[in-house]
Amino acid sequence: MAQAQVIKMYNGFYYLQTGREGDELLSCRLRGRIKRHKGAVVPGDYVEYELLEDGTGVIESCLPRKSLLLRPAVANIDQVIVTFAARQPDLNELLLNRFLVLAEWSGIPEIVICINKCDLLPEAAQENFLQAYREAGYRLLLVSAHEKQGIDGLRAQLSGKVTVFAGPSGVGKSSLLNAIDERLQLATGKISDKIKRGKHTTRAACLLPLAGGGTVVDTPGFSAAELEQLDKGKLAWYFPEFRQYIEKCYYNTCTHSHEPDCAVKEAVEAGGICRERYEAYLNILQAINERKKAY
């Protein structure tokens, strides 16, 4: 039985990179016993397959994963580039925080924040832009696909790694990838004047090799990152700057919302934790609680 990596999936077919002549992808279906399990195979997975007489294949099993981004579902990645725009559409910090928590929850080894269209920010504002995220330990890249600003630094960040770009529609993920490697020629879209959001130009997650080394995953954009399935007791650990305070709370089961003698809340008041980040934490915690009440 042969092994290969799933490069993309579309309309129930899984396309494997098998090293065949011409880099042609092998079209496969899932074996019935695997098909019954939702998310059993996603792009990035390494699988075992059998070649059929008609030139297609059937996937028999999925090999163990080293990581799994939950939404969009991609396996075996080294880092996630959480991508937003500085303007057009305006940056939604609550949504940015939800994507960061999603990446932390998924156990991705490295998380980087990339802000496209930084040329639309006043130059004086760029140095301290999103300073709270830098202080939380995230690497922040300010780039512009249109002006080719910061592209060399972003390209270097991707070299030798399997990277997923994740973020809402219209922030320029496909434009950035085209600027990094012009061979990709990914479709791009414009921001809607009516709803001030982008259109989904990427239809399905797909692994793309880069000329300078490394692999990127172009993914569909999302307007929301669903986190209601997360264990609320672990939520605070997905905010890196909270971690040094969590075990100093008086109550072991502290949710850092209403309890007295909470070290996290004290850190917010003292300026050790950014208030906007703390409020984002409370917003996600409320969403988790409301979902649990609904069931």
DSSP string, 187-253: ---PBPTTTS-B-----S-EEEE-TTS-EEEE----S----TTS-TTTGGGGSGGGHHHHTTSSSTT
Paired strand residues for 48? 3, 61
The helix (run of H) or strand (run of E) holding residue 5 is strand 2-10
- The whole-model pTM stands at 0.83
Q: Give the side-chain half-sphere CA count within 13 A for 107.
A: 6
Note the pLDDT of residue 191: 40
Q: Are 207 and 8 in contact (CB under 8 A)?
A: yes
Task: Calculate helix-pair angle for 93-105, 275-294, nearest 10 degrees.
Answer: 70
> In the numeric block, which tokens belong to residue 62?
């999925």
Write out the chain's pLDDT in tens, 295 residues.
899 999 998 888 999 988 765 568 999 999 988 877 878 999 999 999 999 999 999 999 999 999 888 777 889 999 999 999 998 888 999 999 999 998 899 889 999 999 999 999 888 788 888 999 999 999 999 999 999 999 999 999 999 999 988 888 888 888 898 998 888 876 654 544 433 444 444 456 788 889 878 999 876 655 456 677 789 999 999 999 999 999 999 999 999 999 999 999 999 999 999 999 999 999 999 999 988 776 6
What letter would DSSP give residue 64?
P
- Kindly tell me the sign of the dihedral angle through the C-alpha atoms of 11, 228, 89, 97: negative
Note the pLDDT of residue 16: 95
CA distance linking residue 282 with residue 235, whole number of Å: 10
CA distance linking residue 150 with residue 138, whole number of Å: 17
Peptide bond into 168 cis (omega under 30): no
Note the pLDDT of residue 281: 97
Note the pLDDT of residue 223: 45
Task: Calculate helix-pair angle for 173-180, 151-158, nearest 10 degrees.
Answer: 80
Note the pLDDT of residue 195: 33
The helix (run of H) or strand (run of E) holding residue 264 is helix 263-270
How many helices (H) and strands (E) the chain has is answered by 9, 13
In degrees, rounded to 5, the angle at the alpha carbon of residue 50 between the alpha carbons of residues 45 and 52 is 130
Note the pLDDT of residue 295: 60
